[in-house]
Amino acid sequence: MTTEDSLPHDQEDITEEHSFDELAKGLSNGTLSRGKALKLLGATLFGSVLMPLFPEQAQALTNTERRRCTMQGGTVCSSGTRASEVCCPSGETCVNGACCPSTQACGSACCQSDQSCVNGTCSTPESPPPPPGVECTVNSMSGSWTETCTPEFPVCCPNFGCVPSGTVCCTEVPPEQEGAHYCFDPYQCCYGQCIQSDAVCCPNAVNGVCPPGTQCCTTGGGCC
C-alpha cells in the first residue's frame, strides 16, 4: 500500500460513507425504521447529489487532495478562501488564485510567454534597434569621402559607394574607368561587366567571357 493510499479520509468523506453503509445494512436486514431510513437517505443524497449544486463547496480541495498535492511537490493555490482551490504542480506558482509558470510569475500578475517581468510589471520587449550603418569610403576621380550606408543600401563598394543588398562589388574597376562597379546576384563581376555565375571570366577571350564548361587558357589567350 502506498503512502498516498494510506492517507486518512476527510471527515466529510467518512460521514458520507458511514451514512451510506448504515442505510444499506438497515435495508438488507429490515431493522431500519422508516424515519431513520429517510434521514440517512437525505444525508447520502446531499453528499452525492446536492453538493455539486454549490460551486464554492465543490471547488474546495479535500484534506486528502491537499496532502497529496504537497507530497508530490505541488502547492495548494487559493483565491483567499478554501471555496476555490487548485493544486499547482512543481514549476508553477500561485498567482491570484490560479497556477502560473514560475518563470512568468510577476508580483500579482502572470506574464505572457513573450513578456518579461520589469520592476513587478509584465512588459513586452521592444524590437531591437537596427544596427548602425556601415561607414563606406568612396574613391573617385574627384577625390575620396565617407558615407554611411542605410538599410536600403547596406553594401559598401569602395569604388562606387553604398549599393543594395544581394550585390557583388567590382573592386577591380578603377574610379576613372567606365563599367559596372557592382553586379546583382546571381551574376558575377568580370573586369567591369556582369556575367552569369556559371560563365568563365577570361580577359583575353572574345568579349572577355568563356562559355560554361570551358576554361580560360593560360597560354595563347582565349578559351580552352
Kindly give the confidence (pLDDT) of every residue in the chain, 224 residues in length, as a single tens digit, with 9 standing for 90 and above. Answer: 444 444 444 544 444 445 545 645 555 566 656 566 556 555 555 444 444 444 444 467 888 998 999 999 999 998 776 668 899 999 999 998 899 999 999 988 999 888 888 888 898 876 565 567 888 888 777 788 898 999 889 888 877 888 888 888 887 777 677 778 888 888 888 888 888 888 888 878 878 888 888 888 877 778 88
Please report whether residue 3 resides in a domain. no
Q: Which residues of 141-152 are buried (b: 16+ CB within 10 A; e: fewer)?
A: eeeeeeeebeee
CA 88-112-85 angle, 5° bins: 25
Q: Could you check whether the bond before residue 212 is cis, i.e. omega within 30 degrees of 0?
A: no
CA distance 78 to 153: 58
For residue 140, the cross-strand partners are 143
Please report whether residue 119 resides in a domain. no
Please report whether residue 123 resides in a domain. no
Number of domains, the chain: 4
Please report whether residue 91 resides in a domain. yes
Q: Are 158 and 137 in contact (CB under 8 A)?
A: yes
Residue 162 sits in the same domain as residue 192: no
Please report whether residue 129 resides in a domain. no
The pTM for the full model equals 0.36
CA distance 151 to 141: 27
Q: Residue 71 has what pLDDT? A: 92
Please report whether residue 63 resides in a domain. yes
Containing structural domain, residue 147: 135-179
Residue 25: C-alpha distances to residues 18, 47, 64, 165 (Å):
11, 19, 27, 88
Please report whether residue 158 resides in a domain. yes
Q: Residue 73 has what pLDDT? A: 92
**How far is C-alpha 50 from the chain's CA centre?**
44
Q: Residue 17 has what pLDDT? A: 47
Please report whether residue 220 resides in a domain. yes
Residue 174 sits in the same domain as residue 201: no
Q: Residue 130 has what pLDDT? A: 57
